[in-house]
Amino acid sequence: MKGFPKIRQDGLSHAGAKTHPAELDPCNKPQCHTLYRNLASITLPEPRLPHKKSARKTAEPAATRPGKPSGRLDRLTLLAHQLRAPLSLIAALAQGIERRGQHLSPEEIRERARKIHHASRRLDDLIGTIMNFSRANAGHIVIAPTSLDIKSLIYRMCKEQDKLAGRPRCLMDIERLPDRISGDAVLLEQTIGIVLANALRYSPEESRVIVSATRTEKDVTISIEDRGIGIMAKDLPFITQPFFRGANAKHLAGTGIGLSLASHIAVLHSGHLLIESREGAGTTVRIKLPR
């Protein structure tokens, strides 16, 4: 899912080395305290997802899940953990090069550099998503629609993901898209990026993700399909709720706010997300947008 783009400041857009906790803990940063306070009680407008008959279970409008709600401490712990993971990897790899650099081959150094770059992109994506989610919660995201080349945008994002993976993982069938559509290029790039990154993250590394598209006179639909772990039927109605994560995905990296932000951006464009999934068989996310 390219990494998430930078958002305009006006409101739009196993390593074994030990590391010192104070150096890696993002919660030691004053700006993080401010950010986390803003995330204490986040709720975003939920899109109305249309019903569609399918062999797969389909996500319906998010509901309030019974049981204990996630507390503020749980949310902050989740965010801190997700920010610390790439920082720990970067620090460990850098220390390894510093200590053993003279004994490493050029290829080994390049591989470590690639991993550092990937981890730094992941960290940048996380920070961008959290910041924009906070802005969305405050009502500060406003779309600035222009005429944009949606095919070129998708093509570039898929190629960037292939480069990060070190091999082709995205299969594209987007020729049916119109040459241009009306929308906010920065926000739509983030929406597509979130869905694409999820598809790659929650599917086997050797598998491919299919990015396809259809159009009508009034709208376009961008579909991103994977053959990953899927979403449990009991979790599907809640999958776009802020901080919600499926029971079968909690062992994997993620904050639970990406799809919520992507859905919110689609709604701002008078569109919506339709999510179909079957546990163990994969997920298809359709982003429907007006032309």
pLDDT at res. 72:
52
Residue 270 in this model has a pLDDT that exceeds 60: yes
Give DSSP secondary structure letters for the chain: --PPPPPPTTS---------HHHH-GGGSHHHHHHHHHTTT---PPP-PPP---SSEE--S--PPSSPPPPHHHHHHHHHHHHHHHHHHHHHHHHHHHHHGGGS-HHHHHHHHHHHHHHHHHHHHHHHHHHHHHHHHTT------EEE-HHHHHHHHHHHHHHHHTS--EEEE-TTS-S-EEE-HHHHHHHHHHHHHHHHHTS-TTS-EEEEEEE-SSEEEEEEE--SS---TTTGGGTTSTT---TTTTTSS--S-HHHHHHHHHHHTT-EEEEEEETTTEEEEEEEEE-
Beta pairing partners, 221: 214, 288
Site of tokens 């259809």: 214
Domain stop point among 120, 137, 154: 137
Residues 155 and 286 in one domain: yes
Identity at 213, one-letter amino acid code: A
Identity at 246, one-letter amino acid code: G
Phi, psi of 169 (to 5 degrees): -125, -15
Residue 29 lies in a domain: yes
Q: What is the CATH number of the domain that holds 195?
A: 3.30.565.10
Residues 170 and 243 in one domain: yes
> pLDDT for 142-162, tens place per residue?
788 999 999 999 999 898 888
Count up the domains in the chain and report the number. 2
Alpha carbon of 197 to those of 45, 58, 126, 280: distances in Å? 23, 20, 12, 18
Residue 286 lies in a domain: yes
Residue 127 in this model has a pLDDT that exceeds 80: no
pLDDT at res. 6:
40
Residues 279 and 254 in one domain: yes
Residue 153 lies in a domain: yes
Mean residue pLDDT across the chain: 75
> pLDDT for 1-16, tens place per residue?
444 344 333 444 344 4
pLDDT at res. 74:
54
Residue 5 lies in a domain: no
Residue predicted with more confidence, 176 or 95:
176
Residues 211 and 273 in one domain: yes
Residues 91 and 176 in one domain: no
Residues 153 and 286 in one domain: yes
Beta-carbon contacts of residue 57 (< 8 Å; ≥ 6 apart): 231, 233, 236, 276, 277, 278
> pLDDT for 195-222, tens place per residue?
998 999 899 988 999 999 999 989 999 9
Domain that holds residue 69: 21-45+63-137
pLDDT at res. 223:
97
Tokens of 258: 């990406």
pLDDT at res. 162:
87
Residues 76 and 168 in one domain: no
pLDDT at res. 246:
84
Question: Averaged over 13-23, what is the pLDDT?
Answer: 41
Q: How confident is the model at residue 79 (pLDDT cuts 50, 70, 90)?
A: low
Domain stop point among 137, 164, 196: 137
Residue 135 in this model has a pLDDT that exceeds 90: no
Domain stop point among 137, 159, 174: 137
pLDDT at res. 261:
87
Q: What is the CATH number of the domain that holds 68?
A: 1.10.287
Residues 275 and 169 in one domain: yes
Residues 125 and 86 in one domain: yes
Residues 182 and 277 in one domain: yes
Beta-carbon contacts of residue 36 (< 8 Å; ≥ 6 apart): 27, 76, 79
Put simply, whether the predicted model's pTM sits higher than 0.75 gets the answer no
pLDDT at res. 224:
97
Residue 26 lies in a domain: yes
Residue 160 lies in a domain: yes
User: What is the torsional sign of CA 276, 203, 7, 147?
Assistant: negative
Residue 53 lies in a domain: no
Residue 11 lies in a domain: no
pLDDT at res. 19:
42
d(CA 226, CA 232) in angstroms, rounded, equals: 15
d(CA 96, CA 16) in angstroms, rounded, equals: 9
Residues 210 and 258 in one domain: yes
Residues 107 and 197 in one domain: no
> pLDDT for 35-77, tens place per residue?
444 444 445 544 444 444 444 445 544 444 444 444 554 556 5
pLDDT at res. 210:
96
Residue 257 in this model has a pLDDT that exceeds 70: yes
